[in-house]
Structure 1
Amino acid sequence: MLRRTIGRLNRETSVVMFGAASLGQVTQQEADASIRFAREHGVDHFDTAASYGDAEVRMGPIISGIRDDIFLATKTGQRSKQGAKEEIYRSLERMGVSSVDLLQLHAVGSMEELDRCTEKGGALEALLEAQQEGIVKAIGITGHGHEAPKVHLEALRRYPFATVLLPLNYFMYSLPEYREAFDALMEEAGKQQAAVRAIKAIAKAPWAVGAERPYATWYEPFDEQRVIDACVQFILSFPGLSGFATAGDIHLFPKIVDSVERFGDMGAEEAQRILSSVPGYTTVFGAPTSIA
């Protein structure tokens, strides 16, 4: 399993971040099997959130027993100090742990959301207090949508977040405005030694209206191994990227792990050829609909 260092945290973990959104609506048996598979394949970076259904509860039985062997991250979507503080303690209780390695302000994808989090009495104050108490080791920020790179760049100007987590895939990076904003974020993150981590690496498109949905993801994911391989080749070609979160479905997880274990077998040109020719490939966030 390929490993990279998480910015200035100086902690080396698997580039595969176990996206625990996949555990939100599964049985305990299914969750246990997926987590065990992850550990057997060298995945030691687990990323969850208070809003991921029963994910934190499903993680608890195994995670609590291997806490010292993994990097554990969760998120709060609350915007007030009080709401965030309550959610942080609830997350620890649900997972059966006394601390997390990373606590992230979740889904901060607009300047308005950033203002709410960073204003007096905002959620950031709760994270800072939790860090002082020793139950949170580092503080990060996440976001969805096409504005995320710009918002996170501004976030790094307001507070030295240790990590940022935002969308990145071949299609989104092909959009000139997104590419420019993402590159600017990467440059600033590099200066601050803040770790950049990605989501939506294998997202293909929004689900078509009325289409059958064989996966638990809120968007249509790629599921053909060759295309997943191309997505992984693209995403891991960013040397400043410390890792990416897997799609939110336990049935896709083994395919993604398999692809990472073979990273480098596919060349950059082949990956580009595959991804540039996929029919129906677009953004899942409702913006431009063609590759530049």
Structure 2
Amino acid sequence: MEYKEFGRTGHRSSRVVFGAAAFSEVTQQEADRTLGLLLDHGINHIDTARSYGDSELHVGPWMKSRRSSFFLASKTGMRTKAEALEELKQTLHRLKTDYLDLWQLHFLVDPEEWEVAMGEGGALEAAIEAKEQGLVRFLGVTGHGVDAPKAHLKSLEVYDFDAVLFPYNFTMLQNPAYKEDVSKLLSVCKQRNIAVQTIKALARGEYKPNEKTFATWYDALSDEAAIEKAVHYVLSNQQLFLNSAGDITLLPAVLKAADKPIVQPTEAEMLSLVKQEGMRPLFT
């Protein structure tokens, strides 16, 4: 497993971040088996959210004895200060910890929601207050969809967030406008030493009717060789961290791929993979 400084936080993070959305509908026993897998592969960074079902509840028991082993991140989808602070209180209780390493304003893309969150009495004020009180160490912003990088650039004009998170995979980057927005965001993050997290590395596209296979809300790659190419496509960009997919059954293949020497797939290889797997952009 490769490790890299997570922006300006001082945390030397595993390049793969465990995406604990995979714990939204599992048992504690399944979660605890996953802990063993994470430790075996040297994963030292967990990303969850208050909105991920029972995820925080499953991670919480680990923190009793292993809090110092993980950089722990969660998120709030609330847009007002009062609501966000209440959700943070719940998150800390569920995770059985006194503080988060990273607290993120979740899915902050919609223009109207952005105005509320960034305005007077908004979630950003909650985040700043929580940081001042020592409840969180660093702050971030996340987003889905083709407008996420552009929204993050706007957010970074208002506040100097420590981390961003957005979708990054080969099919999405075939969209010229999206690719340009991603390039601009990566440039700003490099200049300001902001950590860059990516999601949806394994996305094949939306599910076809009655064909849901994984716990993920989207269809995902399952072939081990295909997963390796998708993982290496992301990790070959040394600026990026890869948040694992929201299904624990996909995690072993992701970790196995990340443990190998990272080899950047060629354009021809990725185009062949798209054709072979019937991959489609998840967001348009």
Smaller-chain TM-score range?
over 0.9
Residue of structure 2 equivalent to 1:290: none
Distance 1:111 1:276 in 2: 32
Q: Specify whether residues 147 and 269 from structure 1 end up closer, same or farther in structure 2 by C-alpha distance, changes over 3 A only.
A: closer
Matched residue of 1:255: which SS?
A: helix
Call closer, same or farther: CA 1:266–1:127 in 2, change over 3 Å.
Answer: closer
For residues 161-214 of structure 1, the C-alpha deviation after alignment (integer angstroms, 9 at most, x for no partner) is 000000000101111111000000011111111111100011111010122x22
2:213·2:219 contact (CA, 8 Å) conserved in 1?
Answer: no
Instruction: Give matches, 1:2-41, under 5 Å.
Output: 2-41=2-41
Q: How many residues align?
A: 284
SS in structure 1 of the partner of residue 172 of structure 2: helix
1:275 deviation in Å? 2.9
Q: State whether residues 81 and 126 of structure 2, in contact with CA within 8 Å, keep that contact through their aligned partners in structure 1.
A: yes
1:229 Cα offset (Å): 0.7
Say yes or no: does 1:191 pair with 2:191.
Answer: yes
Asked if 2 retains the 8 angstrom alpha-carbon contact of 1:229 and 1:266, the reply is no
Q: 2 CA distance for matches of 1:168 and 1:45?
A: 19
Q: TM-score, normalised by structure 2?
A: 0.96
Alignment partner, residue 254 of structure 1: 252
1:223 equivalent in structure 2: 222
SS in 2 for 1:64: helix
Distance across 1 between alignment mates of 2:264 and 2:173:
19
Helix, strand or coil at the partner of 1:114: helix
The answer on whether the counterparts of 2:236 and 2:263 sit within 8 Å (CA) in structure 1 is no
Residue 282 of structure 1 aligns with which residue?
A: 280
How does 1:1-292 map onto structure 2 within 5 Å? 1-211=1-211, 213-241=212-240, 243-264=241-262, 267-268=265-266, 271-285=269-283, 287=284
Counterpart of 1:107, as a letter, is: F
The answer as to whether partners of 1:168 and 1:199 remain within 8 angstroms in 2 is yes
Which region of structure 1 is more displaced relative to structure 2, 21-30 or 59-68? 59-68
Shift of 1:265: 5.1
Amino acid in the other structure paired with 1:65: S
Counterpart of 2:4, as a letter, is R
- Cα distance change of structure 1 residues 4 and 271 upon mapping to structure 2, 3 Å threshold: farther
- Please tell me whether the aligned partners of residues 110 and 148 of structure 1 are also in contact (alpha carbons under 8 angstroms): no
Change (3 A) 1:271 1:65: farther
TM-score, normalisation: structure 1: 0.94
1:140 touches 1:162 (CA, 8 Å); kept in 2?
yes
Deviation digits for residues 230-288 of structure 1, max 9, x if unmatched?
A: 101110121221x1111100100011000000142564456425434334211222x2x
| Shift in Å, 1:144 | 0.3
2:109 and 2:273 mapped to 1: Cα distance?
A: 26
Contact 2:74 2:102 in 1 (8 A): yes
Measure the CA separation in 1 of the matches of 2:263 and 2:146: 31
Report the Cα distance in structure 1 between the residues aligned to 2:18 and 2:277, rounded to whole angstroms: 28
Q: Which runs of 5+ in 2 are unaligned?
A: none
Instruction: Note if contact 2:214-2:247 (Cα within 8 Å) is conserved in structure 1.
Output: yes
- Gaps of at least 5 residues in structure 1 are 288-292
Distance 1:112 1:149 in 2: 17
Runs of 4+ in 1 over 6 A off after TM superposition: none
Distance in structure 2 (CA, Å) of the matches to 1:63 and 1:220: 32
Q: CA deviation at 1:123?
A: 0.5
Residues 47 and 72 in structure 1, CA contact (< 8 A), matched pair in contact too = yes
